[in-house]
Chains A and B, each alone.
Chain A
């Protein structure tokens, strides 16, 4: 199956700093990627849809200036958590789809801890 690589797997940062998370499709081109957030023992909540070469589409309630998404190429999308605070601590997961009729493949997730 298709492989999606997410990096880093774990990051600890100080409050007020920015953190960048990368999501790469390794063996296919992904025109669309998705970013999810997951709190402990809870489900995945979609944050935004990332489209190559255009602005991301954010879900209601997600601060676009807080969570910057860039999808500069067909194989890479990045999520930058700006001025992170402890309440931003969470597990972030990306996914990429092969095509509109194809499946969705997930990265291994990034555990963000803001001190």
Chain B
């Protein structure tokens, strides 16, 4: 079975500052990694995903993430945040195939302050 740990439950950050959200996973088989964003009372929107190839993945809204197999991490970064980035962010993993069921981390709430 796989598991996902998001080390920070909340991350306050000032507007235009960089942000990094940490995600670590464990799995006994090959994994596919995802970051999703959730705005209040809404579903999840895919930010980016790692399936194979380059370990640096670029997503929407200026986000990027780096897959580090040796550290079993998939941290999400953005060099300059906006107020509109205030949301809940979830790291997720599927094992064996990209379309298998997802296991989510606990989520990280990003609060961007003016």
Q: Which residues of A contact B (CB under 8 A)?
A: 1, 4, 6, 9, 32, 34, 41-46, 49, 91, 93, 95, 97-109, 111
Contact = CB atoms under 8 A, between A and B. Distances in A.
11 contacts: A6-B43, A43-B104, A43-B107, A44-B90, A46-B101, A91-B41, A101-B51, A101-B97, A101-B99, A103-B98, A104-B99
B41 A109 contact: yes
A105 B34 CA distance: 12
Contacts, number: 64
Interface range for B: 20 to 34
B42 interface: yes
Nearest to B96: A100
A103 B22 CA distance: 22
A103 B97 CA distance: 10
Nearest to A34: B101
Contacts of A9: 41
Contacts of A32: 99
Most chain B beta-carbon neighbours within 10 Å: one of A91, A93, A106, A111 = A106
A25 B46 CA distance: 16
